[in-house]
Amino acid sequence: SRLSDLLSLGIDALTDICDRGLTAYGINPIVHSLIIDGIFAGVGSVLSFLPIIVTLFFFLSILEDTGYMARVAFVMDKLLRKIGLSGRSFVPMLIGFGCSVPAIMATRTLSSDRDRKMTILLTPYMSCSAKIPIYAVFTAAFFTKYRALVMIGLYATGILLGIIVALILKRTAFRGEPVPFVMELPNYRMPSPKSVFLLLWEKARDFLQRAFTVIFIATIIIWFLQSFDTRLNVVDDSADSLLAMIGKFIAPIFKPLGFGDWRAVTALISGFTAKEAVVSTLSVLMNTGTAQLGSVLP
């Protein structure tokens, strides 16, 4: 989106200013590299997607504040029963498009242990906001003309896979019928700007906290492994680094899937800490900003 592009340009400009400042003050080259090639490249690449994520959270917050969520659950009850769930499971799964963690926590409101466990297993198939940066980078890299269409397709594929898994679970591990639908339907109301803002801030804050904690730490670790060799000497070429050694050792496992490049494999592994870290890791390893990431992928 244009907002993401503008924010990305702003982050690049800020990085350039800091780069010049650190150079002018003669900062130690290792510290300089950590700040510019590590922290700014990693955390900045994820923050550039904040406008898209805030937009998603904004509309979810409006749905929550109008009282529409409960009615959606009632409407969806009949359809969800065909795959072994009650309508109450729809709300956690809808929240899952924002973030999987609060979605899974929301399953505590489900009275049936069967429904709760089944919903927890299906929620990760809903594409959360953490996957948006990954989708955006790869659709821009491989489907330039059809980015929007492919991204919609990725969301739809996740939902379809969730339905297939639900049908399998219904006939195997979670046999039986879901509990009857009982839920108090609140009155419709106009969304309060204050309530929407508070809900939006609560959801966006969680993303920002992860950007400056998990991703921040992951970025520093990736930078360290990329900058030093086994003797802890600074490397001139990242291909001689500790990270390259680990990546090249693991890469053959992923080669049949079409991405045997050690940098791609390393980025994939970093995604276990946080999905957003895949983009930040690629930005650090490719030594480029998010906007140019699609053009330099191997």
- pLDDT value at 200 more than 70: yes
The pTM (predicted TM-score) of the whole model is 0.60
**287 dihedral zone (left: phi>0; alpha: psi -120 to 50; beta):** left
- Across 120-154, b (16+ Cβ under 10 Å) vs e yields bbbbebbbbbbbbbbbbbbbbeeeeeebeebbeee
What is the average per-residue pLDDT within 205-209? 75
- Model confidence at 182, pLDDT cuts 50, 70, 90, reads low
**Tokens 């590299």, residue located:** 33
Residue 209's pLDDT is 76
Query: Could you tell me the pLDDT band of residue 211, with boundaries at 50, 70 and 90?
Result: low
Read off the pLDDT of residues 107-161 as tens digits, 9 standing for 90 and up. Answer: 776 777 788 888 888 888 888 777 877 888 778 777 878 878 888 888 899 889 9
Give the dihedral sign, CA 246/213/61/78. positive
Distances (CA, A) of 39 to 34, 122, 130, 203, 268: 6, 34, 19, 23, 19
Give dist(CA 114, CA 164) in Å, integer: 18
- On the question of pLDDT at 178 being above 60, the answer is yes
